[in-house]
Amino acid sequence: MAKIREPEEVSKDTQVQQMLAVARSRGIETAFDRADQMAARCPFGSAGLCCRSCLEGPCRIVPNGSGPRRGVCGSDADTLVARSLLNTMIQGASGHAEHGREVAMALLKTAEGKAPYVIRDVGKLMRVAKGLNLEIEGKSINEVAKAVALTALEDFQKHEGVMNWIEYRGHQKSREIWDKLGITPVNAHLEIAKAVTRNAMGGDADPLNLLLGSVTMGLVDGYSGLHLSSDLQDILFGTPKAVKFNYSLAVLDEKQINIAVHGHIPLLSEKIVEWARTLERKALTVGAEGINIVGVCCTGNELLMRQGVHAASSFSSQELVIVTGALEAMVVDIQCIMPGIQQVAECFHTEIITTMPHVKIPGATHVNFEPEYADDAAREIVERAIRNFAKRDPAKVVIPGGSVEAYAGFSVEQICEVTAKINEDKPLQPLIDAIKDGTIRGVAAVIGCTNPREPQDIGNVTVAKELLKNNVLIVTTGCAAHSLAKYGLMNEDGLEACGDSLKALLRQLGQHAGLSALPPALHMGSCVDNSRPLDLLSAIADELDVPVSSLPAVGSCPETHSPKALTIGTYFMAHGVDVHVGVDPQVSGSNLVARTLTGSREDKEITMDGLFGGKLIVESDPVKAAAILLERIDMKRKALGI
């Protein structure tokens, strides 16, 4: 019999604990329960030793022991594990590449006057166009936008050369390594197709070559997904600036019509925010006091970064937003959407609305989104939510009390705007000086997910606090950012977690931003915005004329669940940034693969560390993980001579 964890064992968040108890008392099952019912995981799959690539199998190799040592075709454990990892990477890279392509299409249609968006950040449009070496002189805004969109779409079409966004954003010193290894992507779709092909039965059997294929997927993810999406979304919706928002399940409002926007691409949700304002008066006619949009997962991050929309939940507790009984609609686009939300919604009046033709859920309503008809879709969704308000059962409403105030919106542009008040000519210099003199011991990106298998928020918050008290500057994205916001690390109270020198610096910088202090964790956005920490590091590396791999910078994904988090981690490692994961990445079935990733082979020059300067650190204990990250930061400081 599987052990069912008590609410206080599944999350650090007392509101999540409360709502989980409510769900259980009503016989409603959530991901936390299903994670417990799953109990012990399959030992073959957990080690990466199960192969379902063809009909000779499924083949499995017993981890470290008895039984067959090869699959029917002759693949050994190393090949199986490397292929299984590449499969995961393909999933991650495809998700982000598709995100980038959707946004590029929306920009193109906007520029052609076919979609109802406006270009909110013309300055960024021009900077991106220049960065791409496009002609802007004498061109209209829409002509430049069209040229940028077509250049972006080439990254899914071209058959020779290098992806445009790598030419534009890739750090030159990292580029040299990728080019030498022959792993620099040409176009995202081509690389994904090649990866699928090499991974098929009878394809690539060399585990080290397969691992290089995984690094290519990391680069596809990073450049056709992250950088391209962040750049184009900033052009369309504005580059984030410091903004205040509230975090917790308490952001639902009993008196208002509540709509949760969930997923990743902000194209429709931005319009929903607009239409909620337009139709506010209609809400009054059904007895509500207004329309309250709340965010879940990364669509939530996108909206809070640019609009200050309140955030209700990260990934693992998404179903509990519905259990409040006060949600009229949950609108989903792509990725990280649990099909379980529909079962939970059926216990309430909540309407689950899918919006993308390739992401549907049985039982949910589908309102199709196309950029051309974004207004029609957004209007229909808000009107549906207004109608649903009458179906709400007040007896079922339980909204926990107390939300946390937080500051987000720390794009590289926003950070530089603040530091430029100290050094206008060289805005990065104050940060560089602080790193050099040890005021900032290092920089850590605490990123990634929450995972129903793991106690929610504990890993994310513990790693961040351990690093902050050692004067490591934290930047954050994704669901990890949700964790840090909840525990006050995005407001002034969080300064208590910082070491003295970092605290003083954040106070000094805050005054230049019109705040009493910068928050200890700088929220840089959604998971595609993991482009931003890398942009910051690349700019610092350029100033110092060193590779990114020389910087005292690390990444940490303490509560990983998604393939996307692993591809993002690989993209960081490909630039030489060490990456910690707190959840087993399922490669233990091959010593060769595990040691190549973690840099613990004797022939170091062919490990991730040896090739790129950054390695994988697997550690489930967040305190130990932070200690290892500090050691690596100090090692890089020493090598830099600072």
Q: What is the DSSP code (8-state) at residue 475?
A: E
Query: Least distance from C-beta 300 to ligand NFS, angstroms?
Result: 8
CA separation (Å) from 275 to 29, 283, 592?
33, 12, 54
**Which one, 48 or 266, has the nearer CB to ligand NFS?**
266
Query: Least distance from C-beta 448 to ligand NFS, angstroms?
Result: 5
From 71, 371, 459, 478, residue interacting with ligand NFS (rule: CB under 6 A): 478
Per-residue H/E/C for 316-372? CCHHHHHHCCCCCEEEECCCCCCCHHHHHHCCCCCEEEECECCECCCCCEECCCCHH
Indicate the pairing of strand 578-581 with strand 616-618: parallel
Q: Which residues contact 224 (CB under 8 A, 6 or more apart)?
A: 96, 97, 100, 101, 155, 156, 163, 165, 185, 187, 188
From 321, 445, 505, 527, residue interacting with ligand NFS (rule: CB under 6 A): 527
From 145, 336, 463, 495, residue interacting with ligand NFS (rule: CB under 6 A): 336
Q: Which of residues 349-408 bind ligand NFS (CB under 6 A)?
A: none
Q: Which of residues 552-581 bind ligand NFS (CB under 6 A)?
A: 562, 564-565
Q: How many CB atoms lie within 10 A of CB 531?
A: 26
Interaction between residue 298 and ligand NFS (CB under 6 A): yes
CB contact at 8 A, 587 and 598: no
Annotated binding site: 42, 50-51, 54, 59, 73, 264, 298, 336, 449, 479, 527
CA separation (Å) from 555 to 447, 475, 523, 544, 632?
7, 9, 14, 20, 11
Interaction between residue 475 and ligand NFS (CB under 6 A): no
Interaction between residue 276 and ligand NFS (CB under 6 A): no
Partnered with residue 408 across adjacent β-strands are 243
Interaction between residue 625 and ligand NFS (CB under 6 A): no
Query: In the chain, count of helices (H) and strands (E)?
Result: 28, 16
* Nearest partner of 554 among 451, 610, 626, judged by Cα: 626
Q: How many CB atoms lie within 10 A of CB 386?
A: 22
**Which one, 453 or 564, has the nearer CB to ligand NFS?**
564
Query: Least distance from C-beta 563 to ligand NFS, angstroms?
Result: 8
Annotated binding site for [Ni-4Fe-4S] cluster: 264, 298, 336, 449, 479, 527
Find how far residue 21's CA is from the centre of its chain.
Answer: 29
Interaction between residue 626 and ligand NFS (CB under 6 A): no
Query: Least distance from C-beta 446 to ligand NFS, angstroms?
Result: 11
CB contact at 8 A, 241 and 207: no
Phi, psi (5° rounding) for residue 63? -60, 130
**Which one, 224 or 419, has the nearer CB to ligand NFS?**
224
Interaction between residue 344 and ligand NFS (CB under 6 A): no
Indicate the pairing of strand 257-263 with strand 291-296: parallel
**Which one, 164 or 526, has the nearer CB to ligand NFS?**
526
Interaction between residue 166 and ligand NFS (CB under 6 A): no
Partnered with residue 444 across adjacent β-strands are 474, 554
From 93, 226, 297, 435, residue interacting with ligand NFS (rule: CB under 6 A): 297
Annotated binding site for [4Fe-4S] cluster: 42, 50-51, 54, 59, 73
Query: Least distance from C-beta 91 to ligand NFS, angstroms?
Result: 11
Query: Least distance from C-beta 92 to ligand NFS, angstroms?
Result: 8
**Which one, 265 or 367, has the nearer CB to ligand NFS?**
265
- Taking only Cα atoms into account, the Rg of the chain, rounded to an integer number of angstroms, comes to 24
**Which one, 184 or 411, has the nearer CB to ligand NFS?**
411
Query: Least distance from C-beta 260 to ligand NFS, angstroms?
Result: 13
Q: Is the peptide bond before 63 cis (omega within 30 degrees of 0)?
A: no
**Which residue type is seen at 499?**
G
**Which one, 465 or 564, has the nearer CB to ligand NFS?**
564
E strand or H helix at 480, and its extent?
helix 478-486
DSSP for 204-260? ---HHHHHHHHHHHHHHIIIIIIIHHHHHHHHHH-----EEEEESGGGS-TTSEEEE
**Which one, 264 or 310, has the nearer CB to ligand NFS?**
264
**Which residue type is seen at 264?**
H
CB contact at 8 A, 502 and 471: yes
Query: Least distance from C-beta 251 to ligand NFS, angstroms?
Result: 17
Partnered with residue 475 across adjacent β-strands are 445, 522
Indicate the pairing of strand 50-51 with strand 59-60: antiparallel
**Which one, 60 or 264, has the nearer CB to ligand NFS?**
264
**Which one, 191 or 559, has the nearer CB to ligand NFS?**
559
Query: Least distance from C-beta 96 to ligand NFS, angstroms?
Result: 8
Query: Least distance from C-beta 449 to ligand NFS, angstroms?
Result: 3
**Which one, 225 or 510, has the nearer CB to ligand NFS?**
225
Residues in the chain: 642
Query: Least distance from C-beta 370 to ligand NFS, angstroms?
Result: 23
Interaction between residue 449 and ligand NFS (CB under 6 A): yes
**Which one, 89 or 186, has the nearer CB to ligand NFS?**
89
From 325, 340, 371, 448, residue interacting with ligand NFS (rule: CB under 6 A): 448
**Which one, 530 or 607, has the nearer CB to ligand NFS?**
530
Q: Which of residues 235-264 bind ligand NFS (CB under 6 A)?
A: 264
Query: Least distance from C-beta 232 to ligand NFS, angstroms?
Result: 17
CA 558/CA 621 separation, integer angstroms? 9
**Which one, 313 or 462, has the nearer CB to ligand NFS?**
313
* Nearest partner of 224 among 177, 305, 162, 306, judged by Cα: 162
Q: What angle do CA 51, 54, 56 make, to 5 degrees?
A: 90
Query: Least distance from C-beta 450 to ligand NFS, angstroms?
Result: 6
Query: Least distance from C-beta 558 to ligand NFS, angstroms?
Result: 11
For ligand NFS, how many residues bind (rule: CB under 6 A)? 14
Interaction between residue 510 and ligand NFS (CB under 6 A): no
CB contact at 8 A, 377 and 333: no
* Nearest partner of 528 among 371, 336, 245, 331, judged by Cα: 336
Find how far residue 319's CA is from the centre of its chain.
Answer: 19
Partnered with residue 258 across adjacent β-strands are 292
Report the interface residues with ligand NFS, using CB under 6 A.
264, 297-298, 315, 336, 448-449, 478-479, 526-527, 562, 564-565
